[in-house]
Amino acid sequence: MTRFATREDFTAYTEALAKAGSGKERTRILVGMSTCGIASGAEAAYEAIGAAVAEAGLDNVEVVKTGCVGLCHAEPTVEVERPGKPLATVGKVDAERGRQLVADLAAGRELDGCLCTGGEVYGNQVRIALRNCGRINPENLDDYLGNGGYQALARALFEQKPEDVIAVVKESGLRGRGGGGFPTGLKWEFARKSQADTKYIVCNADEGDPGAFMDRSILEGDPHVILESMALAGYAIGAANGFIYVRAEYPLAVKRLTLAIDQAKAKGLFGQNILGSGFSFDVSIKYGAGAFVCGEETSLIHSIEGKRGEPTVKPPFPAESGLWGKPTNVNNVETLANIVPILQKGGAWFRAIGTESSPGTKVFALAGDVKNVGLVEVPMGTTVREIVYGIGGGTPSGKPVKAVQTGGPSGGCIPAEKFETPVDYDTLTALGSIMGSGGMIVMDQDTSMVEIARFYLQFTCDESCGKCTPCRVGNKRLLEILDRLLQGEAKADDLTTLKELSLVIKDTSLCGLGQTAPNPVLSTLQWYHGEYEQCLRPKKTVKDYRIVEEKCVGCTACARICPVKCIDGVVKKPHVIDQDKCVHCGACFSTCKFDAIVCE
């Protein structure tokens, strides 16, 4: 493979690639090899399948390493593409089952353990950001090129002015998928208008929200889309350099990104003088070092500069003065993954998906007490119920879902009675939560909401950078109140303080971390006030008396002896003790001749 010196070279190559691929009756076995796939044993399965294919002499079968298809609950997953047959998805494939799968294929049998065919398992999903994840080999540039890769960049460089690119992104209505929801096209326009000799593009891959892993999946499954989108952003705003700020906890993502950068540069699709257009764009990878606040753009910029990742007051926005004082455009991974499809298909196409105020799709990381843990991508406006029950399959225990938490430590809980809400940026905000980066944690009836609030607040306290007082001290005080509540030592006015202090922290904190930190407390206070009130009551020290329905003959002896008249019932029918009135005197217990009252 030689370097493409011109656009014509590139077009000739992709056309030849398409020709070589068409008319071929090939079967492809795609093995999901992202971090969770590998942790579940995908490597052993991949090797076993490869060996079995070679042994059986199946020349027309290709075994491909791919990214994550998002069916985390069934890892390691394998998908089989056969000519003339619907796509088959097989879950929990170990080495043994891998060999079985190849044997079934060779014999033309039905595939054993097939979860579904034709991709039904994905439910009503629409894949834009994840479109290549699990479909292509992320380590093979030809796979990406085969799916239209780098075409949008080539067209922009030769046919569109930077302003045209920005106009398409603006028309699409794409909003920042990192959580803020700021219109991406506007952000680009501001950076374009800033006058400076040097500008920067930054990809925010510091996915710090606990429970969100879509950015990792995109980086591991489709690294080239990030490079192409960053180059497009660079062309649009007039930047020649970029940084990908990625978590040190994502080694596989870094490995695949590095490989992708080398591949694209070797072909002249990235780096110096891209396709002979005269436009150059290069990126460096920067490691994060474990600080949640670095997801905030000004903190992230300081971290790239090698400083403590503390935020600064906006304005000035990074679009005016960012990295080393130069105009800087920061976009999240999922936002960037949408750029290439938007430029391929147009702003109007994107705008038609989703809701009026939030066009497009959103990737959610569905986890917690839910059957089908995984990554789902749905159009904005899909209801919570559809995501949790329709795609997620409800809880593994079959118990009803109590609440869904969105937005991580900056978000809030959505109670079951609001599950009909169509999800977009604005409806979630109205419910007291936020979209955030798309973590969606499902909780069943056994989850204590006060403990959940405490969990997030503990996280925020650990992660607060300490620069501003409301966040540093305020959240600590909130945490102390929650601790008192959970230990049964709360004071009467604690709930009032909790709410007031939360509002003050929201109003006065310097950056997004502090301004949203009390959200988990406020939303649980709003929807589950009863649970907080329960914490105000003294802890139960005496045991409760209870009537066993099957044993009670309805003799009324207990009801007659009860000094507070808290036992209710009809003659010859089982009686019931009203626990709120009971004084635990035990009179009923000693009176009952049928052992129908128990003390527990």
Check binding of 387 to another protein (CB under 8 A). Answer: no
Q: Which of 143, 209, 222, 320 binds another protein (CB under 8 A)?
A: 209
Q: Tell me the C-alpha to C-alpha distance, in Å, between residue 364 and each of 6, 49, 401, 520.
A: 40, 31, 17, 19
Short-list 182, 146, 138, CA closest to 32: 138
Closest distance of CB 247 from another protein, Å: 8
Check binding of 407 to another protein (CB under 8 A). Answer: no
Q: Tell me the C-alpha to C-alpha distance, in Å, between residue 273 and each of 33, 262, 295.
A: 34, 15, 32
Q: Which is nearer to another protein, 72 or 136 (CB)?
A: 72
Binders of another protein in range 442-471 (CB under 8 A): 443, 447, 455-456, 459, 465
Check binding of 441 to another protein (CB under 8 A). Answer: yes
Binders of another protein in range 534-593 (CB under 8 A): none
Q: Which is nearer to another protein, 197 or 580 (CB)?
A: 197
Closest distance of CB 115 from another protein, Å: 15
Short-list 168, 164, 133, 203, CA closest to 340: 168
3 state DSSP class of 160 = coil
What's the rounded Cα separation, in Å, for the pair 388 and 372?
Answer: 9
Check binding of 350 to another protein (CB under 8 A). Answer: no
Closest distance of CB 545 from another protein, Å: 31
Closest distance of CB 73 from another protein, Å: 5
Closest distance of CB 489 from another protein, Å: 20
Q: Tell me the C-alpha to C-alpha distance, in Å, between residue 195 and each of 184, 228, 238.
A: 19, 24, 10
**Contact range with another protein by CB under 8 A, out of 175-183, 244-252, 427-435, 546-554:** 244-252
Check binding of 439 to another protein (CB under 8 A). Answer: yes
Q: Which is nearer to another protein, 208 or 327 (CB)?
A: 208
Check binding of 258 to another protein (CB under 8 A). Answer: no
Chain length of the chain? 600
Check binding of 286 to another protein (CB under 8 A). Answer: yes
Closest distance of CB 204 from another protein, Å: 15
Q: Which of 373, 376, 380, 435 binds another protein (CB under 8 A)?
A: 373
Q: Which is nearer to another protein, 176 or 368 (CB)?
A: 368
Total residues in contact with another protein, by rule CB under 8 A: 50
Q: Which of 18, 54, 103, 248 binds another protein (CB under 8 A)?
A: 248
The residues, ordered by sequence, that sit 6+ positions from 417 with a Cβ below 8 Å of its Cβ are none
What's the rounded Cα separation, in Å, for the pair 476 and 313?
Answer: 22
What's the rounded Cα separation, in Å, for the pair 153 and 343?
Answer: 8
Closest distance of CB 506 from another protein, Å: 21
Question: Which position has the token pair 């436009």?
Answer: 279
Short-list 314, 311, 240, 309, CA closest to 270: 240
Site string for another protein, 48-77 (x = CB under 8 A): ------------------------xx-x--
Site string for another protein, 10-39 (x = CB under 8 A): -------------------------xx--x
What's the rounded Cα separation, in Å, for the pair 209 and 439?
Answer: 7
In the chain, the N- to C-terminal Cα span, in Å, equals: 77
Q: Tell me the C-alpha to C-alpha distance, in Å, between residue 321 and each of 240, 242, 324, 587.
A: 16, 15, 8, 77
The letter for the amino acid at 570 is: V
The DSSP line for 512-549 is: HHHHHTTHHHHHHHHH-HHHHHHHHSPPP-SPPEEE-T
Tokens at 182, concatenated: 């700021």
**Contact range with another protein by CB under 8 A, out of 245-253, 349-357, 471-479, 579-587:** 245-253
Which residues of the chain form contacts with another protein (CB under 8 A)? 35-36, 39-40, 72-73, 75, 207-213, 216, 248-250, 286-292, 303-310, 324, 365, 367-369, 373-374, 405, 408, 439, 441, 443, 447, 455-456, 459, 465
